[in-house]
């Protein structure tokens, strides 16, 4: 696996993980079962992303490090795109 593929995989996993977190926060606010939303969301997000990173780890150290860079790039992008002032209800 080359570095470009690892970077794209990391960005995709980051978008999935942090996009899922953003979606969960949007859905959970104002609901009585807020804690259940967060717990279930975390289990699902880790269940999807964990095996992908484990598979990359089996490829070696370089692919996982490059994928982690992509993961944090996705986080940074989503913070810039979706972030902003906190919403108060």
Average pLDDT over residues 65-86: 88
The model's pLDDT over 17-52, given as tens digits with 9 standing for 90+, comes to 999 999 999 888 888 898 999 999 999 999 999 999
Q: What is the pLDDT of residue 64?
A: 94
User: What span, in angstroms and rounded, lies between the C-alpha atoms of 69 and 10?
Assistant: 7
Per-residue pLDDT at 57 exceeds 70 = yes
Instruction: Tell me the whole-structure pTM to 2 decimals.
Output: 0.85
Our CA angle for 10, 63, 81, nearest 5°, is: 20
User: What span, in angstroms and rounded, lies between the C-alpha atoms of 56 and 86?
Assistant: 35
**Residues above pLDDT 90, as percent of the chain:** 71
């Amino acid at each position: 696996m080359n570095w470009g593929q690892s970077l794209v995989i990391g960005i995709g996993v980051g978008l999935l993980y942090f996009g899922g977190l953003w979606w969960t926060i949007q859905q959970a606010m104002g609901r009585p079962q807020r804690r259940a939303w967060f717990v279930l969301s975390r289990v699902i997000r880790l269940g999807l992303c964990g095996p992908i990173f484990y598979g990359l780890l089996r490829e070696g150290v370089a692919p996982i490090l490059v994928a982690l860079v992509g993961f944090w790039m996705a986080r940074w992008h989503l913070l810039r795109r979706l972030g902003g002032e906190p919403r108060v209800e």
